[in-house]
Amino acid sequence: MKDLLHLTKLALKGHMFAYAMAYVFQLFAVVALVFSSFLSRVLVDALAQNIVISDPITRATVFILSAGQGAEFIYTHMYVLPIALGVSAVVVAAMTSLRLLVRFYVTAHTNKGLQMLLYDHLISLPYSEYKKRKSGDLLQCCTRDIDVIRRFLGFEMSMLVYTFFIVLLCSIVLGTISWKLLLISICLFPILFIYSFFLIKVVRARYRAADDAEAEVMDRIAGNLNAIRTVKAYGAENKEMAKMNEVIDTYEEKFVAWRKVSSFFFSSSDIFIFFSRSLAVTVALFFVFTGEVTPGTAVIAYTFVNMMVWPLRDSATRIANLGQILAASDRINAFLKIPREDLETGKEATMGDIVFDHVSFAYPDAPDIGILEDVSFKIEKGKTLAIMGKTGSGKSTIAALLLRLYEPDSGKIYLNGDDISALSRKSIRKLMAPVLQDPFLFSMSIEDNISVASDRPELSVDTYAKVAKMDDTIQGFDKGYKTPVGEKGVTLSGGQRQRLALARALASQRQILILDDSLSAVDSQTDLAIRSSLKNTLNGTTFIITHRINSAKDADRIIVLEKGRISEEGTHKELLAKEGFYKELAYIQGANSSLIEKGENHA
């Protein structure tokens, strides 16, 4: 409950006054509704010429209707009663309309506020959090759970307050007329609430299980959409459908189990309602027969019981469903409690030499498996460093550490003489432009994808596309640079996506370019043309993570990683003169004997 209150405070921030006014309008509407219903008692007794003024509420009502002239005036001017009923109906309608307008306004803004709050937190999480959490869970939290809270604040809470007002006012009026009728009419209500209380925990547990199962469904759908090419290429549709069927079956089972409890409560609670109504009518008729109350009092007793019992039944159902609301708020608050990545703390990073000093690292989910072990190297400002090695040797991890997506377990990384742990992540990443092997493209045009990371949108994007040898390809499309690339660049080939990502990185004009196997899907001839073009374009520091000798050979320095350690280091010519992985790779990739002897590339 504490989490729900905290989340409510966050959702209503800046709109608390409007939210409170909705309940003020609701109170006025309920007062008018109760008054309108109370007039039925006056009407019945007036028709019998037997208005008994034995309580302050009846006395005040008669005084208002007769303008202070008493019950005799009402007997001879019965038209005042339908007029009063009409005025009450207008007040109820007006107050209800105002309440709904304010409620819809607040609901729309609170929904927007919650969505922005969660999205802001989602995008601010450390990279490691995304690696250990399912995307389906995050999507569920940011969509379904928000909708549950929005519905609670906008509708469920409104109905609970309405029930409180209607029960309070009806009880006051009925208790003033006949406290015996009041006690008899509401005697079954506590049992209804006790009955509801014991179902809360069951409903909450079953809803949470169904909610988690639904998150699994969403995660499976998201995964298949991301891997749709692979699924299609291997003809694995039937296999994926079988897996999806298992997940949906589990969700169906848990959903039905949750709904069974909710449905049982909803239907079984009708018993209390019919017993309450029957009891109220029976006792009221008995009191009329004995002369203890007037027929109008019996009518108002039955009317008020009806007015109270249905909202109470619905409120009891909502209390039983409180488990669903609490489960959603628990998930959202747990998500919001995940520490955000600190982007601002630290000095401003400045460009300079980059030094890895005895750096070791293991990923948090596999702390016993060292990815990097005692790695040390230096790359001077404006120079190019190539990193080579077998798959899993730690090449990409060096880029992740440099971007401060992770922190070294031991050792230091320096940028321009400053320990990067003392520099702000934001300023570090403003210096760097990573280009990955499998780049992500936004579902928008080619032009927008290239310029998305640029701080200077006035620059022509075709300049960078030409460097990446993508301009001719783009010009061949019907819409040129306005061509949409589809979800994650699905309309482009692997090599086209890589070249487009390279153009985007160049357009960002960052001082450190990290090419992480970024041209692996490009043919050798295009690769050679791009490397030649980059030579005349790059003037900052460049990291080239690659498996290709041709991509690494022109670097100022080359390091070779084996099992997380630097096994070889030097220039292309120096490494060819040594027996090791680099020389073996040169043979495998077609280097001839003259290349080995002379340290030259004839490809």
Judging by DSSP bridges, how do beta strands 410-415 and 354-361 pair with one another?
antiparallel
Q: What is the CATH number of the domain that holds 122?
A: 1.20.1560.10
Q: With contact defined as beta carbons under 8 Å apart, do 357 and 148 qualify?
A: no
Which phi and psi angles does 355 have, rounded to 5°? -130, 130
Measure the CA–CA gap between 284 and 336, rounded to whole angstroms: 55
Measure the CA–CA gap between 497 and 446, rounded to whole angstroms: 10
pLDDT digit string, tens, across residues 207-261: 778 877 887 887 788 777 767 767 777 777 788 888 888 889 888 888 898 888 8
Count of domains for the chain: 1
Q: Count the Cβ atoms, other than its own, within 10 Å of residue 462.
A: 17
pTM above 0.85, yes or no: no
Measure the CA–CA gap between 201 and 256, rounded to whole angstroms: 17
Which phi and psi angles does 344 have, rounded to 5°? -100, -30
- Using CA atoms, how far residue 156 sits from 146, 150, 177, 384, in Å, is 14, 9, 32, 62
Measure the CA–CA gap between 16 and 200, rounded to whole angstroms: 28
| Residue 590 pLDDT class (50, 70, 90 cuts) | low
Q: What is the pLDDT of residue 131?
A: 75
Q: Is the pLDDT of residue 140 over 80?
A: no
Kindly state whether residue 206 falls inside one of the protein's structural domains: yes
| Residue 12 pLDDT class (50, 70, 90 cuts) | confident
Q: What is the pLDDT of residue 579?
A: 87
pLDDT digit string, tens, across residues 355-369: 999 999 988 777 667
DSSP assignment, residue 347?
B
| Residue 95 pLDDT class (50, 70, 90 cuts) | very high
Stretch 547-572: mean pLDDT, rounded? 89
Stretch 319-345: mean pLDDT, rounded? 82
Q: What is the pLDDT of residue 373?
A: 92
Max CA distance (Å), the chain: 125
Q: Is the pLDDT of residue 391 over 50?
A: yes
Stretch 70-82: mean pLDDT, rounded? 88
Measure the CA–CA gap between 155 and 153, rounded to whole angstroms: 6
**Among the ranges given (162-171, 221-230, 540-549, 587-596), the one the predictor scored with the smallest mean pLDDT:** 587-596
Kindly state whether residue 491 falls inside one of the protein's structural domains: no
Q: Assign residue 459 a region: left if phi > 0, alpha if psi is -120 to 50, beta otherwise?
A: beta
Kindly state whether residue 296 falls inside one of the protein's structural domains: yes
Q: With contact defined as beta carbons under 8 Å apart, do 6 and 15 qualify?
A: no
Q: With contact defined as beta carbons under 8 Å apart, do 209 and 90 qualify?
A: no
Could you tell me which residue, 534 or 38, shows the higher pLDDT? 38
Q: What is the pLDDT of residue 93?
A: 92
Stretch 76-80: mean pLDDT, rounded? 89
Encoded amino acid at 320, one letter: A
Measure the CA–CA gap between 503 and 314, rounded to whole angstroms: 60
Kindly state whether residue 466 falls inside one of the protein's structural domains: no
Encoded amino acid at 271, one letter: I
Q: With contact defined as beta carbons under 8 Å apart, do 364 and 397 qualify?
A: no
pLDDT digit string, tens, across residues 462-515: 888 888 888 888 888 888 888 888 777 777 888 888 888 888 888 888 889 888
Q: With contact defined as beta carbons under 8 Å apart, do 491 and 469 qualify?
A: no
Kindly state whether residue 62 falls inside one of the protein's structural domains: yes
How many percent of the chain have pLDDT more than 90?
16
Q: Return the residue matching tokens 């069927």.
A: 245
Kindly state whether residue 342 falls inside one of the protein's structural domains: no
Kindly state whether residue 135 falls inside one of the protein's structural domains: yes
| Residue 136 pLDDT class (50, 70, 90 cuts) | low
Element (H, E) at 3: helix 2-11
Stretch 372-397: mean pLDDT, rounded? 90
Q: Which strand ranges, in their side-by-side order, compose the sheet holding 354-361?
A: 372-379, 354-361, 410-415, 418-419
pLDDT digit string, tens, across residues 531-559: 888 877 777 888 999 888 888 888 899 99
Q: What is the pLDDT of residue 595?
A: 43
Q: Is the pLDDT of residue 598 over 60?
A: no
Judging by DSSP bridges, how do beta strands 384-389 and 557-562 pair with one another?
parallel
Residue 61, both tokens: 């009502």
On the 0-12 / 13-18 / 19+ scale of CB atoms within 10 A, 536 is exposed
Q: What is the pLDDT of residue 603?
A: 35
Q: What is the pLDDT of residue 317?
A: 67
On the 0-12 / 13-18 / 19+ scale of CB atoms within 10 A, 416 is middle
pLDDT digit string, tens, across residues 400-441: 899 998 899 999 999 999 999 999 999 998 898 888 877 888
Q: Return the residue matching tokens 């003169």.
A: 577
Kindly state whether residue 111 falls inside one of the protein's structural domains: yes
How many percent of the chain have pLDDT more than 70?
93
Q: What is the pLDDT of residue 200?
A: 65
Q: What is the pLDDT of residue 364?
A: 79
Q: Is the pLDDT of residue 375 over 90?
A: yes
Average pLDDT over the chain, rounded to an integer: 83
Could you tell me which residue, 92 or 272, shows the higher pLDDT? 92
Domain that holds residue 14: 2-336
| Residue 594 pLDDT class (50, 70, 90 cuts) | very low
Measure the CA–CA gap between 95 and 520, rounded to whole angstroms: 67
| Residue 597 pLDDT class (50, 70, 90 cuts) | very low
